[in-house]
Amino acid sequence: MNKQPQIAFIGLGVMGGPMAGHLARAGYAVAAYNRSPQRAGKWRETWAAEGLTVRFADTPADAAQGADIVFTCVGNDDDLAQVVHGDSGVLGAMAAGALLVDHTTTSADMARRLAQDCAARGIGFVDAPVSGGEAGAVNGKLAIMCGGTASDLARVEPVMQSYAKAIVHVGPAGAGQSAKMANQMCIAGVLAGLSEAVRLAEAAGLDLAKTYEAISGGAAQSWQMDNRWQTMTAGEFDFGFAIDWMRKDLGYALDEARRLGLGAPVTALVDQFYADVQAAGGGRKDTSALITRLPRRVLKEG
């Protein structure tokens, strides 16, 4: 019988924390590291109360020592470079034959460079950004888009099943990140249209619940409509994935579009709409807070 791989998980944020917990629940030996000791302490208490055993490391290298698979899930390119290449980074502690799997949403160029750095050390690499938000991470229902070799993905796919509802190999290293860019571009466009639709329904004096019922069964239906129509109309914007992070992701998408010689006018426009919400102090609100830049208009009688 094959021995279960030893796991290291670097980054215990809104997404990474729940994902690492799912791995521990699945019976994997997990060593975890987070740059914020306070957040690490929160997860230590949460998992201890649940009876899970997770080893907490003092550095990324300490977590990665002896690991067969190292997962990273941090903020951006710079954060990833720090935990991989920085002082006490994981790459220096990983043995040849190990596998680095990055769940961070980064630039595609970052993924391609990491793949080269890993290959030079005999280490496999998969860029594996996720979609599904905090709820998807907590419920173990994430969609994962993967770049890398088929053999490396085959090694890690059974492990990622612990928190995935769908795992798709979209191409070589960097392809996962490019697919995530496409994902974020779609979400941004849908939320812009949804925001305007909600405001029109309000201004027209429509019953918002009935309007949702009427249009969600047809071609306008989307995940965002099903999960955010009611919360947007109620002014609730605390669902984990912040506008600050969406702007980071859209920045990567716009950079990649320019590199490929493509125009992305809708994405660029919605990115500026999000900048307006940031400027008004809404950077930490959920992406559906895009609607707040559109003032309510009340239907006048007569």
Q: Which one of 42, 141, 180, 285 is the catalytic residue?
A: 180
Q: How far is CA 295 from CA 20, 100, 197, 200, 202, in A?
A: 41, 46, 13, 11, 11
- Using CA atoms, how far residue 58 sits from 99, 102, 171, in Å, is 21, 20, 35
**Distance between CA atoms of residues 128 and 145, nearest Å:** 5
Separation in Å, CA 282 to CA 111, 133, 208, 279, 302: 30, 18, 24, 7, 36
Helix axis angle, 175-203 relative to 108-120, nearest 10°? 160
Taking the C-alpha atoms of residue 19 and residue 33, their distance in angstroms, rounded to an integer, is: 13
Distance CA 97, CA 219 (A): 48
Q: Give the DSSP H or E segment for 179.
A: helix 175-203
**180 is known as an active-site residue:** yes
Active site residue ranges: 180
